[in-house]
Amino acid sequence: MPFADLLVRLARWLERAGTVGPKNAVAKSFGAFGDGSALVFPPGALFGEQLIRVGAHTLVGPHVTMSAGLFGETLEPLAGWTLRFGDNCSIGRNSFFVSRLSIDVGDDVTMGPNIYVTDHNHRYDDVSIPIKQQWMTEAPVVIGAGSWLGAGAVILPGARLGRNTVVAAGSVVTAGDYADFAVLAGVPAKVVRQHTTEGWKRPDS
C-alpha cells in the first residue's frame, strides 16, 4: 500500500479514536458536557473548562479553542459559567471563543470555520502605557438560537444577536442589540435584510 494511503488511513483513525465524547475524562472536566456531543480530534487549546458548558448533541470541530478566564485569574461568575453552547450546535474548525464574562450561544446554532467570538477587548485610551498593560473592556455576548455564522465572522463584546440571525462570512459584529430574523453583513456589520410581517425586506426598501 502506498505510504500516502497509510497516512490518510492513520489520520482518519486518529480522528475517530481521538474524538472526545461525554464519557471521556476531558469532557468530564467541563462544567457540563451533554449527551451526544463531541470534540473532534485534534482539539484546540482548552482553558478553564470548569466554566464552559456544552449542551447535548453539539459538535465542536477540530482545532477549536475555548478559553474561560485569563491565565492566573480566578473567576466566580454568578451563572457558574462564562462560555455556554446550547443543544444541537455545530462549531466550525479553527474557531476561537475567548470569554471571561459571558458568551451565551443558543440552541441550534451553526457556525462555519474560523469564527472568533470574545466578550472582552483591549483598551487603548491611555497613551502613556502599552495597550497590553491597560485593563480590558468587557460586555456579554449572546448568539440567538437558530442562528448561522458564516466563515470568518467576528463577534465582539456587547453583541447580542437575535434568533435565526445570519452573519455573512467575514463580517465583524460590534456591540449592540440585533433583532430576530436579520441578515448582518459588512465591517462593521449592518442589517442588510430583515424579516417583517411583509416578508424579507431591505432596510431601505
CATH number for position 178: 2.160.10.10
Q: Is residue 140 part of a domain?
A: yes
Instruction: List, in sequence order, every residue forming a beta bridge with 176; answer none if it has no partner.
Output: 159
Q: Is residue 5 part of a domain?
A: no
Q: What is the pLDDT of residue 75?
A: 84
* Domains in the chain, number: 1
Using CA of residue 193, residue 195, residue 201, residue 205, what is the dihedral sign?
Answer: negative
Tell the burial category of 89 from Cβ atoms under 10 Å away from its Cβ (0-12, 13-18, 19+). buried
Number of C-beta neighbours around residue 9 at 10 A:
11
- What is the DSSP code (8-state) at residue 20? B
Domain-located, residue 116? yes
pLDDT tens, residue by residue, 22-69? 999 999 999 999 999 999 999 999 999 999 999 999 999 999 999 998
59 within some domain: yes
C-alpha cell at 188: 462593521
| pLDDT score recorded for residue 194 | 93
pLDDT of residue 69: 86
Domain housing 79: 20-201
In a domain, 12, yes or no: no
Write the Ramachandran bin of 58: left for phi over 0, alpha for psi from -120 to 50, otherwise beta. beta
In a domain, 3, yes or no: no
The active-site residue out of 57, 63, 120, 122 is 122
- Check if 195 is active-site: no
Report how far residue 32's alpha carbon sits from residue 49's, in angstroms, rounded to the nearest whole number. Answer: 9
Residue 205 is predicted with a pLDDT of: 65
pLDDT in the model for residue 1 = 67
DSSP class of residue 31 equals S
Give the residue ranges of the chain where pLDDT is below 70. Answer: 1, 205
Give the Cβ contact number of residue 60 at 10 Å: 25
Phi, psi of 141 (to 5 degrees): -120, 135
